Amino acid sequence: MTPFPREDYRALSRYLPDRRPVPVDLSDNTNLWGTHPDALQAIREAGPDHLARYPSLYADELRAAVSRRFGVPEEHVCTGCGSDDILDAAFRAAAGPGGLVRWADPTFSMLEPLCRMNGREPGPVGWGEALEDPAALLAGDPVVVYVCRPNNPTGHVAPRAWMNALLRLTRDRGADAPLVIVDEAYADFSGDSLVAEAPGLHRTLVVRTLSKAYGLAGLRAGWGAGPTEVIDEVEKARGPYKVGRLAGAAAVAAVDDVGGWVERTVAECQECRSALIEALEARGLEPLPSGANFVLVPVARAPTEKALALRERGVAVRPFPGERTADGAAKATPQPLPDALRVTVGPWPLMERFLGALDDLRAADPDAWAGAPRPVWLPGATP
Ligand SMILES: *Cc1c(COP(=O)(O)O)cnc(C)c1O
């Protein structure tokens, strides 16, 4: 065996979505109302020490801000260079090389790469099967179980009773329980969160990001909450100095949200989300119910071509080929999505730009742009 490169990294590649600049970018679920004004102010007020000196080892200021805002004691909060960094550290903290990772599929596209990067065995379970019985996610003694709630890319929120049942099953397993990761990247938009109860949950980590509702994707900061046994192991696996001083100062100002900017833009986003869903339904399409800042719209076929056609009209959305991967191979996922487009919800003028481009394309070729039915396994959108 050659020592370099790693044999098990063969299936890994760089993450390269279409990121060419476009006038209206509805492809990456960032906050299209801009960034948090208090975070920007904190950066403007920064002095030389913000750059010359190391930050605190484990982002104490950000942990304190999270504690103030969410009522979770600091020792129950971990942080990272984006929530991806926390997920990565949690994967490493959960067990040594090998070991199964289960998740309800389809979900966050980073899951499979995260498994490969950490030498884990990917074990997707279809959402339908998982929702029928959460025990499906514990089959085969996984070391990690991941649930995205609200889920990316579908936008649905797994019902609270179902989530509680999974957490009960985890507690029943005691010392043999996997680490359950609940990714709440979009929880600000659904209003339902496990953060407040996270300290008392068994072997569970609730992960939040500043990249979406807080408008700070460029900053790279995230945090997690859970019992101290979990928090301590994740912080050890992640290592010190991951949140830079400047990023930390801006993140603190945003989490404090003194002027209520997050609340205001989230409320506006929820209104635009309802209006967008209505507008799509009025056109005979069947967008999925969403608790997030995006809407998934099933289309009859060829989502990648459709996304390119929209891009030519100045609007970027993210295509999700259902049963095929981007290079045309059949997907191994147990319950594939229908072919679909994921549209980030932004201020209404941007939604009008999207709907205008869509209408042009639909008028030119109504058959190609026909909708497709929602998947049958979808639960109600609200917990
Ligand atoms: C965008 C997103 C994140 C955020 O990742 P960061 O590294 O914090 O920017 C995490 N989870 C999901 C499901 C996401 O869609």
pLDDT at position 334 over 70: no
Give the mean pLDDT of the chain: 94
Residue 339 · residue 49 · CB < 8 Å: no
User: What pLDDT shows up at residue 382?
Assistant: 43
Which residue of 32, 212, 214, 294 sits with most ligand 1 atoms within 8 Å of its CB, as the best mutation to test the pocket? 212
Q: For residue 381, how far is its CA from the centre of ligand 1 (angstroms)?
A: 20
Question: What is the DSSP secondary structure assignment for residue 219, as one 8-state letter?
Answer: T
Does the structure show a pLDDT above 60 at 380? Answer: no
Mean pLDDT, to the nearest integer, of 310-322?
A: 95
The pLDDT of residue 1: 67
**Residue 261 near residue 38 (C-beta atoms within 8 A):** yes
pLDDT at 132 over 80: yes
pLDDT at 170 over 90: yes
Higher-pLDDT residue of 230 and 11 is 230
C-alpha atoms less than 13 angstroms from C-alpha of 224 in its C-beta half-sphere:
35
Q: What share of the chain has pLDDT > 70, as a percent?
A: 96
Nearest to 137 by CA among 92, 116, 110, 107: 107
According to CATH, the superfamily of the domain at 20-30+261-364 is Aspartate Aminotransferase, domain 1 (3.90.1150.10)
Q: What is the mean pLDDT of residues 199-210?
A: 98
Residue 383 has pLDDT above 50, yes or no: no
Beta-strand pair 144-148/100-105: parallel
**151 C-alpha to center of ligand 1: Å?**
11
**What is the H or E stretch that residue 77 is in?**
strand 77-80
Cβ of 147 closer than 6 Å to ligand 1, yes or no, is no
Q: Would the pLDDT of 367 be above 80?
A: yes
Q: How confident is the model at residue 376 (pLDDT cuts 50, 70, 90)?
A: confident
> Which residues, listed in sequence order, are joined to residue 371 by a DSSP beta bridge?
299
Q: Per mean pLDDT, which range of 69-83, 107-121, 156-170, 272-286 is the poorest?
A: 107-121
Query: pTM for the whole thing?
Result: 0.95
Mean pLDDT lowest among 8-17, 178-187, 319-328, 360-369? 319-328
Specify whether the CB–CB gap between 361 and 313 falls below 8 A. Answer: yes
**What CATH number belongs to 37-256?**
3.40.640.10
What CA dihedral angle connects 151, 153, 154 and 158, to 10 degrees? Answer: -10
- CA dihedral 300→301→306→307, nearest 10 degrees, is 100
Please say if the pLDDT value at position 197 is more than 90: yes
CA of 368 to the centre of ligand 1 (A): 32
The three-state secondary structure class of 262 is helix
pLDDT at 323 over 90: no
- Band of residue 75 on the pLDDT scale cut at 50, 70, 90: very high
- Looking at residue 27, its pLDDT comes to 96
Determine how many CB atoms are found less than 10 A away from the CB of residue 104. Answer: 28
Q: In which region does residue 319 sit, left (phi positive, over 0), alpha (psi from -120 to 50) or beta (all else)?
A: beta
Q: How far apart, in whole angstroms, are the C-alpha atoms of residue 146 and residue 207?
A: 11
- Domain ranges for the chain, please list them: 20-30+261-364, 37-256
Q: Is 219 in the pocket of ligand 1 (CB under 6 A)?
A: no
DSSP letter (8 states) at residue 371: B
What whole-number distance in Å separates Cα of residue 273 and Cα of residue 348? 9
pLDDT at 381: 41
pLDDT over 50 (residue 177): yes
106 lines ligand 1 (CB under 6 A): no
**Is the minimum distance from the CB of 88 to ligand 1 under 6 angstroms?**
no
Q: Whose CA is closest to 214, among 274, 256, 244, 155?
A: 256
Q: Residue 74 has what DSSP assignment?
A: G
Q: Each residue of 28-64: pLDDT tens digit?
A: 999 999 999 999 999 999 999 999 999 999 999 999 9
Residue 35 in contact with ligand 1 by CB distance below 6 A = no
Residues 268-287: pLDDT tens digits?
999 999 999 999 999 999 99
* Residue 296 identity: L
Distance (angstroms) between ligand 1 centre and the Cα of 264 equals: 21
Q: Is 154 in the pocket of ligand 1 (CB under 6 A)?
A: no
Q: What average pLDDT does range 248-273 have in this prediction?
A: 98
User: For position 330, what pLDDT does the model report?
Assistant: 63
Contact predicate 315/357, CB 8 Å: yes
Percent of the chain, pLDDT > 90?
Answer: 85
Do residues 215 and 33 make contact, with C-beta atoms less than 8 angstroms apart? yes
Query: Would you say residue 331 has pLDDT above 70?
Result: no
Nearest protein CA to atom 10 of ligand 1, as residue = 185
Please give the number of the atom of ligand 1 that sits closest to the Cα of 28.
Answer: 1
Ligand 1 atom 11, closest CA: 185
In ligand 1, the atom with minimum distance to the C-alpha of 29 is 1
